[in-house]
Structure 1
Amino acid sequence: MTGGWAASSVDLGELGFERGAHLLVQRALRGLAPGAELAVSGRDPALTVHLEAWCRSEGHGVRCPDDRDDPVRAYVIRGRADLDRWSDAKRAGDPRPGGVERRPEPHWGLAARGALVEPGGPEFGFDLADRDLVWADIAPALYAHAASAQWDPGKAVDWDADVDVPADIERAVVQVMTFLVENEQAALVVPARLLSRIHPHFREVLQLLAVQAADEARHVEVFTRRALLNGGAMGTSSVSGRESLATLVTEPDFSLASFLLSVLGEGTFLNLLTFLDRHAPDPVTRQVTRLARQDEARHVAFGVAHLQHQSAVDPSLRSRLRSAIERRHDALVETAGLNQDVYDSLVTLAAGEWTPEAIGRGYEEVRKLQKEMDEGRQHRLIRLGFPADEAADLSALHTRNFM
């Protein structure tokens, strides 16, 4: 702003409205009360024509001086229209995690949290629009950790390492990797499906689930790449395995899906990945399972934290969780359970060689793995408030397919 008038003046120089002059006028009007005048000067030949049109659209008045020698081309009279437009506006919470509203307005839609939201507009169909349905206080910290812990499959794994293992052992590795890919694809689909249903106001949860889906996509990549590393074909996929995973993918309830996938399924997979790390016959297998386990631990942490949060506000939650386990068990009770090829491959990897003594040790190692899986599930169920005896009963009902 320049000129010899009072502070309520603006000199546009050669700048015309077709090149952004309205920004300077708008800025000068911002500090004026309704009814106050702003003296506008400038040398653009079409200034008054464009200024009058702009003022009409914005709800301001305008008058031109009678004296043609007056350096002021027009006086803008501050209107109320732009003030009234935002008089009923409400901020969409606060951008910080502590500013999350319990029930964000439907018309907030994709507005940034903390933005001043103009009333009206479309109402988006986000059905997960209640804080208690999706939130966990640990979500912002977990997202920050997840974002910093991303790894590049091409660089984090030494794909040139020696993987010259006996053919029978390699077949076992390929079968287990095939099994892992199938399960990780289910673990990718579930958060991806839920993402579109969550109100963007809960952005930390959206961000965390988006990274979780990206994690699973990487796992699918590295497990597939390890399976094919020595030029063999992928292993087998059983009907019972796919039936088990279908019960995860089709669960519509956010909390129950988180419970079945993250708390029980991925929690059980933590033990499996630890087992594979311990019995890996080559460095690449060890690296991919170790990297995946780091990610899965974060997924389990969010699932447990979310359900702990919800159980504090919903006394009926544990009953719903119990029913979810029982329904899934009943749906799968007639299936064959874990793919026999997978079970045998786990025994083979733990044995490491083809002697009766080694196979016996491998079998006992897999039995020990199943016991550790059961104990881990019981521990997480107890953290969610189940009594120890009920936790044991419910853990025993978990799918034999691990996930």
Structure 2
Amino acid sequence: MVRLGALGFERGAHLLVQRALRDLRPGQELAVAGDDPLLPVHLRAWCREQGHRVRIPGPGEHWGDGIRARVVRGRADLDRWAGAVRAGGPGPDGLVARPPAAWGLAARGALVEDGGPAGPFDLADRDHVWADVAPALYARAAAEQWDPARAVDWDAGFTLPGEVERAVVQVMTYLVENEQAALVVPARLLARIHPHFREVQQLLAVQAADEARHMEVFTRRALLRGGELGTSSAGGRESLHTLLTEPDFSLASFLLSVLGEGSFLSLLGFLERHAPDPVTRRITALARRDEARHVAFGVAHLHHRGTLDPALRGRLRAAVERRHDALVDTAGLNQDVFDSLVVLAAGEWTPRAVGRGHEAVLRLQAEMDEGRQRRLLHLGFPADEAAELSALHTRNFM
């Protein structure tokens, strides 16, 4: 028996009835006692919906003990879950290699009722998106989120010569443009990943949030002294456009994170070292920390997939060559950006300082090349092929 007291079905009485029925087999009866005048009406409607039967005492009939009705346990609710399966596999993480499309948005490990809609997720193969470091990288990314309003002292006092400020603004303009592309790529891929691989979804979502924050702080620094943004070259935009059109998850990760953002780690380190003001120094340091996580996931994913599929390296090489051929007639890095980097590294307007700044930018390009080759070696490319592919990377850095 279940006693409802004055509790009516409009206030949750069905939960108590439902709980009591769980202990019964189909065909067994549950006596229901309660004081709500509408109890028989509401109970009959609820049981009809749930697949149970109700017996109500007739006129002049009393069952005693305050019993207002008897519910005969049905099996419709059992049949509803008869074909249900757990959306997951054995082990603590519950990951499976290829989750069915019918699992859709069900949480990993949930009991999934049969008959739901198939999700629109074409990236549904574990080895096409996974890296074992994804959960740890997501936890690290969540812990390292920073608030631009608090992490940066925007009121720090400094005064720069006009030419130096314009150089900073030009570099910031270039960074914003590249970060916009770096936001679109993971956001586009994120929407295609089966939710079963939620750690990868979460990591890419934070990566997109990182890029949005970078766009904010670089724009804010560019406009900090009331000027206008710098120039945007057609060649630079064409280079970034080739990132947006790569449909393959692994190839997109390779071009963006391993080669492009990997090169940007060197660029952001260069800007931190040669920053002429504390705001520029701070925002490039914070952005570099974020970008290091993006590169780490890209390298880990490609290492994971390459271990299982040795033919992957051939497809990676082909992707680099296709991009190079598509950009061979473009101008490459915006000359205004190159010159601005020289100005920042020079620090002053003397022939010796400008020559020193120019050499520093050439060393930066060599450092980018060394970093790309190092990551390519880690992915299993022979040294000569790593050097060749690194040399084919876009002159626009990203």
| Correspondence for 1:282 | 277
CA drift of 1:98 comes to 2.2
SS of alignment partner, residue 68 of structure 2 = strand
Deviations 1:265-304 (A, max 9, x none): 0000000000001111111110010000000000000000
Distance in 2, Cα, partners of 1:114 & 1:244: 42
Residue 94 of structure 1, CA deviation? 6.1
Q: Tell me the distance in 1 between the aligned counterparts of 2:139 and 2:30.
A: 48
Aligned counterpart, 1:4:
none
Displacement of 1:95 after TM fit?
A: 11
What residue identity is the alignment partner of 1:302?
A: F
Aligned equivalent of 2:5: 13
Structure 2 partner of 1:186: 181
Residue 148 of structure 1 aligns with an amino acid whose one-letter code is A
User: Quick one: which amino acid aligns to residue 297 of structure 2?
Assistant: F
Structure 2 CA distance, aligned partners of 1:308 and 1:175? 36
Structure 1 residue 169, shift from structure 2 partner: 1.0
For residues 45 and 234 of structure 1, the distance between their equivalents in structure 2, rounded to whole angstroms, comes to 73
Corresponding residue number in structure 2 for 1:150: 145
Segments of structure 2 that go 5 or more residues without pairing to the other structure are none
SS of residue in 1 equivalent to 2:54: strand
Per the TM alignment, residue 49 of structure 1 is displaced from its structure 2 partner at its CA by 2.5
Partner of 1:29: 21
2:8 partner letter: G
Deviates more, 1:37-46 or 1:84-93: 37-46
Q: Deviations over 1:200-234 (max 9, x none)?
A: 11111111111101100110111111111111111
The alpha-carbon deviation at position 88 of structure 1 amounts to: 1.1
Match of 1:83 among 78, 86, 99: 78
Query: 1:96, 1:171 → 2: CA distance?
Result: 57
Aligned-CA RMSD value:
1.4
Counterpart of 1:302 (choices 286, 297, 303) is 297
CA–CA distance in structure 1, aligned partners of residues 53 and 283 of structure 2: 69
TM-score, with structure 1 as normaliser: 0.95
SS in 2 for 1:303: helix
Q: Residue 69 and residue 323 in structure 1: after superposition, are their counterparts in 2 closer, same or farther (change >3 A)? A: closer
In structure 2, give the amino acid aligned to 1:325.
V
Secondary structure at the counterpart of residue 69 of structure 2: strand
Instruction: Give the superposition deviation at 1:91.
Output: 1.1
Specify the SS of the correspondent of 1:126.
Answer: coil
- Is the contact made by 1:188 and 1:212 (CA closer than 8 Å) also made in structure 2? yes
1:55–1:62 CA contact under 8 A, matched in 2: yes
Instruction: Write the distance in 2 (CA, Å) between the matches of 1:357 and 1:280.
Output: 19
Residue 69 of structure 2: aligned partner:
74
1:130 aligned partner, one-letter code: D
Deviates more, 1:111-120 or 1:371-380: 111-120
For residue 49 of structure 2, the aligned residue among 45, 57, 71 is 57
Q: Which runs of 5+ in 1 are unaligned?
A: 1-8
User: Counterpart of 2:195?
Assistant: 200
Query: In structure 2, what is the equivalent of residue 41 of structure 1?
Result: 33
- The separation in 2 between residues aligned to 1:87 and 1:29, in whole angstroms, is 17
Distance 1:89 1:184, change over 3 A: same
**Paired residue for 1:6?**
none
Which of these residues, 102, 106, 112, is aligned with residue 107 of structure 1?
102
Indicate the SS of the match to 2:30.
strand
Question: Deviation string for 1:232-280 (max 9, x for gaps)?
Answer: 1111100100000000011111111110000000000000000001111
Instruction: After superposition, give the CA deviation of every residue in 1:72-125 in whole Å (9 maximum; x if it has no partner).
Output: 222212111111110110111169872112111212111111111100111111
Q: Measure, in 2, the Cα distance between the counterparts of 1:241 and 1:20.
A: 62
1 CA distance for matches of 2:340 and 2:124? 44
Pairing partner for 2:369 from 374, 382, 393 = 374
**Aligned match of 1:165 in 160, 182, 195?**
160
* Helix, strand or coil at the partner of 1:290: helix
Tell me how far apart the structure 2 counterparts of residues 56 and 231 of structure 1 sit (CA, whole Å): 70
Match of 1:262 in 2: 257
Report the secondary structure of 1:75's partner residue.
strand
Q: Partner of 1:40: helix, strand, or coil?
A: strand
Q: Give the total of aligned pairs.
A: 395
What secondary structure sits across from 2:93 in the alignment? helix
2:63 and 2:387 map into 1 onto residues whose CA distance is 93
Answer yes or no: is the 8 Å Cα contact 2:57–2:63 preserved in 1.
Answer: no
Secondary structure in 1 aligned to 2:70?
A: strand
Q: Which residue of the partner structure matches residue 118 of structure 1?
A: 113
**Residue 224 of structure 2 corresponds to residue 229 of structure 1:** yes
Q: 1:96 to 1:235 in 2, by over 3 A?
A: farther
